[in-house]
Amino acid sequence: MIGTAALFAQLKLRLIAGALRGDLQRKLGFVLTLVMAAGVAVLGFGLMTLVRLAPRDVATDVVIVAYTAILVGWMVVPLLAFGLDDTLDPARLALFPLRTRDLATGLLAASATGAWPVATLAVVAGALAGLADGPGGALVGLVAVLLQFALCLVLSRLVTTSLSGALRTRRGRDLLAVAALFVVLLAQLPNLLLNAGLGDPGAMLRGAAGVLRWTPPGLLAHAMADGGLTGLAEVAVVALLVVLAAWLWIKALNRALVTPDASTQAASVREGGGLADRFLPDGPLAAVVAKELKYLRREPRFRVLWFSAIAVSGVIAFSLSSNTPGGAGPWLPVAVTSMAAVMIALQSGNLFGIDGPSLWMNVMAIGSEEGFRTDLAGRHLAGAIVATPLLLVVSVAASLFTGHPGAIPLAFLAAWGALGVGLGVGAVTSVVIPYTVPERMNAFTGAAPGQGGQAFASAMGAFAGIFALSLPLAIPIALGLGWLCAVAPVYGLLVETLGRRLGATIGFARMPELVAAVSKPT
Amino acid sequence: MTDAVRTHALLKRYGPQVAVAGVDLVVPAGSFAGLVGPNGAGKTTTLSMVTGLLRPDGGRAEVGGLDVWRDQLQVKARIGVLPEGLRLFERLSGRELLLYCGRLRGIPRADVERRAAELLRVMDLEDAAGKLVVDYSTGMRKKIGLAAALLHNPAVLFLDEPFEGVDPVSASTLTEVLRRYTASGSTVIFSSHVMDLVERLCDWVSVMSGGRIVAQGPIGEVRGGHSLNEAFLRLVGGPRTGGDAGLSWLGAQPASPPASGEEG
């Protein structure tokens, strides 16, 4: 047993150390992770110790909430980052002659090894210093700390193992890619609530702790504060729960090891020409628009991008309108809607990134600069077809919300201009600084390993370009010449056309390099 | 008659490493040509440069007498390509993929639909035509890739490892289609490791090793009375050591069962 555990812990250390042999970026990432984990450990431990200064009941509440948050983090984060840790997928180990019990011990040992587990242990142990009283409290508290750590490990494994079958199928991964976004948004929720000034933090803490009091982490935190017989009973209950979870996990592991991969059995999709073929003349343009619209619907990375564009503009709109002193002027809906348009257009700053390695098919079919221009036009048109109704909704909502219904047409027209400018700039950045969008996006990177710099440069370039090219209209509009909004769509179209032509000239000349840049392994 | 493919001193470097060191590939029009060579010989790199997917560091490539890089429009209309790795537009169904490829080349929709339907039938992909390419198996991907490469009726077809990982049924479908295609006077160039297959299908063979062409010509001449496999091993320098050195433990019966780990 000990041998297996040590072996797996070594395997995990080797895997971590393997990052050190990679290129500079991976080394930097490794160092950054270490620094962050150390920071979290020290800061967390310190904060948890400081709880002692708070009144007793508040301290208990804080620890209850913190323990629950840590446990939830352990359950959710590995799921979103599935694939980061090679020891997480039991299928990799299925062929080794290991009994399930040995395997389970080993996997737990691997889970407990690493920078983040150590950081977790430090934070969890901080509560001991912050909450426990007397020798009884210290003893019960020590057990509680170890149980909380074990609970994190076992439940995290239970979740990834029972979902590992689903995670290996295409559909499961597609769903998860979008789900990851919801978690990121959810993390923004407390921030937004506090910003909006709903309720006081003290009451919210009491409410949350009251709900979480009887969850396993809540029991542990309470036991630590209690330190008497009640505490002992609570610790015993959680210990039972840990054993039960471990047993469930071994069952799930057994099943996962013998369940075949069924990911290639898929149903047909709904086909049909749709919008593009009804309104566009037959030809390459209609083909590109039809393909792009299908991709927008079916490709999870597109779903994530569009969803985040809308969510980010929502957040911006919310904070802009609630933080404006003395009520919002009619410029606000115009600004908000234009901002949303820029957010949508920014997705087009790397038009070929999602096509990725399949872009060669386009390259083989496109033999002239005009063909490349058509490809760009089709992509822009498809984006505009989806963006138009969205921007209409945003302009109406923003105008009504700020009490300026008269601003609806202005906001919508200005947004069209912003969209055009964004697409035009994006056409150029797409061919000058292309980069691969990884198959599985997470909240931390939007580019293939080694291309983070390109992604950053592309975004910055797009921002700078959009900003500079928007000024000729944005400044007079901001100064009160609202009617200029009517000119905005024309201006946007002009910039889009110029950008598209420039992009096609540059892009056609460097098509092989373009394919290479978006075909990096991820 | 001009050659279907002719390259002059084609060169590609990756940093200090020379992947293709001056290749003069010649393939006569109408031939079924095999490009063979060990791993890392530069086959894929050569094919990528001839098809315009990779920019050469030196030399020229011509297809049907037209320069691949100067006359892109005409060359691209004349060639069909199935590169290795099979990256296709994954989120289109098989039928949609064919429609997209055909229409992107400016073929009218009605024509593309007819051709796609026939190709799907011949490739035995009718049942899977409505499924997303991302859910296809390797054999199905090779077949849909070949269908996409044939859709615009190219004069020269480039295939990189078309039979790798393909089941025997799909492989025979693929060879059948290719035979019919060359019988009409079109040219096929494919790279492969499988000598038997090259020997069976091809009438022209080019052997690459270490980034160069080491032999090229009608298959009978290159073979010179041996099997192609023997001729190939002789040309590229065969197995360097005897197979019997070392590995004496392999296949020996263990004296006792191996230690079964810790007993808990």
CATH number of the CATH domain containing B72: 3.40.50.300
Measured CA to CA, the distance from residue B33 to residue B182 in angstroms comes to 10
Range 201-220 of B in CB contact (< 8 A) with A: none
Residue B89: which of A98, A358, A513 has the nearest Cβ?
A358
Q: Does B89 touch chain A (CB under 8 A)?
A: yes
Q: Is the pLDDT at B217 greater than 90, yes or no? A: yes
Q: Write down the number of H helices and E strands in chain A.
A: 20, 0
Q: Give the separation between CA A207 and CA A215, rounded to whole angstroms.
A: 14
Handedness of CA A446, A451, A455, A460 (dihedral sign): positive
Show me where the domains of chain A are located. 2-258, 275-518
Instruction: Indicate whether B256 belongs to any domain.
Output: no
Q: Which of residues 39-78 of B touch A (CB under 8 A)?
A: 51-55, 72-77
**What is the C-alpha end-to-end distance of chain A, expressed in Å?**
36
ipTM, 2 decimals?
0.86
The answer to whether A268 contacts B104, with C-beta atoms less than 8 Å apart, is: no
Identify whether B223 is part of a domain: yes
Residue B251 forms part of a structural domain: no
**CB of A306 closer than 8 Å to CB of A294:** no
Instruction: Tell me what pLDDT residue A91 has.
Output: 65
Give B263's pLDDT tier (boundaries 50, 70, 90): very low
Across the interface, whether the CB atoms of B55 and A298 are under 8 A apart is answered: no
What pLDDT score was predicted for residue A196?
A: 57
A257 near A100, Cβ under 8 Å? yes
| A289 CA: distance to closest CA in chain B (Å) | 10
Q: Residue B165 domain-assigned?
A: yes
A286 or A318, greater pLDDT: A286
- Per the domain annotation, does B18 fall within a domain? yes
Supply A41's token pair. 């450990």
- When scoring A173, A299, A303, A364 by the number of chain B Cβ atoms within 10 A, the one with the most, hence best to mutate, is A364
In a domain, B248, yes or no: no
Whether residue B229 is contained in a domain is answered as yes
Looking at the complex, report in whole angstroms how far the Cα of residue A450 sits from the nearest Cα belonging to chain B: 17
Chain B residue at shortest CA distance from A372: B104
pLDDT band at A85 (very low <50, low <70, confident <90, very high): low
Q: Which residues does residue B36 pair with via DSSP β-bridges, in sequence order?
A: B192, B207
pLDDT tens, residue by residue, A9-43: 888 788 777 766 666 666 777 788 788 889 999 99
- Across the range A190-204, mean pLDDT stands at 65
Using the CB atoms, write b or e for B213-252: b if 16+ within 10 Å.
bbbbeebeebbeeeebeebbeebbeeeeeeeeeeeeeeee
Tally of domains within chain B:
1
Binary contact (B90, A358; C-beta < 8 A):
yes
Find chain A residues with C-beta within 8 A of B90's C-beta. 358
Instruction: Work out whether strand B212-218 and strand B3-14 pair parallel, antiparallel, or are unpaired.
Output: unpaired
Give the residue from A211, A105, A213, A111 showing the smallest Cα distance to A159. Answer: A111
The pLDDT tens digits of the residues spanning A220-232 come to 888 888 878 888 8
Residues of B in contact with A511 (CB under 8 A): 52
Q: What share of chain B is helix, strand, coil (3-state, %, to 5)?
A: 35, 25, 40
- Considering only CA atoms, which of A202, A192, A49 is closest in space to residue A132? A49
C-beta atoms of B76 and A364 within 8 A: yes
Which of chain B's residues have a Cβ under 8 Å away from the Cβ of A375? 104
For the segment A413-448, what is each residue's pLDDT rounded down to a tens digit? Answer: 999 999 999 999 999 999 999 988 877 655 445 666
Contact A282 B135 (CB under 8 A): no
| Beta strand spans in B103-225 (E) | 156-160, 187-192, 204-209, 212-218
CB B178 within 8 A of CB B32: yes
**Cβ neighbours of A437 in B, within 8 Å:** none
d(CA B182, CA B200): 14
Q: What is the mean pLDDT of residues A502-507?
A: 96
Q: What is the pLDDT of residue A75?
A: 83
For residue A259, what pLDDT is reported? Answer: 67
Average pLDDT (A288-297) is: 90
Give Dmax over CA atoms of chain B in angstroms.
79
Q: Does B178 touch chain A (CB under 8 A)?
A: no
Q: Rounded to whole angstroms, what are the CA distances from A347 to A94, A437, A456, A458, B203?
A: 41, 11, 13, 11, 50
Considering only the beta carbons, identify the residue of A271, A291, A368 that sits closest to B130: A271
> What mean pLDDT value characterizes chain B?
88
Question: How does DSSP assign A261-294, residue by residue?
Answer: P-TT----------HHHHHS-SSHHHHHHHHHHH
- Alpha-carbon gap, residue A83 to A91, rounded angstroms: 12
For residue B194, the enclosing domain spans: 3-236
Which token pair is B180?
Answer: 């019919």
Q: Which of chain A's residues have a Cβ under 8 Å away from the Cβ of B261?
A: 3-4, 98-99, 102
Can you tell me the distance from the alpha carbon of B113 to that of B125, in angstroms, rounded to the nearest whole number? 15
Task: Check if the beta carbon of residue B56 is closer than 8 Å to that of residue B37.
Answer: no
| pLDDT tens-digit map of B122-150 | 988 998 898 989 888 888 999 999 999 99
Whether B253 maps to a domain, the answer reads no
Query: B87–A360: do the CB atoms touch at under 8 Å?
Result: yes
Sheet holding B156-160, edge to edge: B79-82, B156-160, B187-192, B32-36, B204-209, B212-218
Chain A positions in Cβ-Cβ contact with residue B136 (cut-off 8 Å): 264
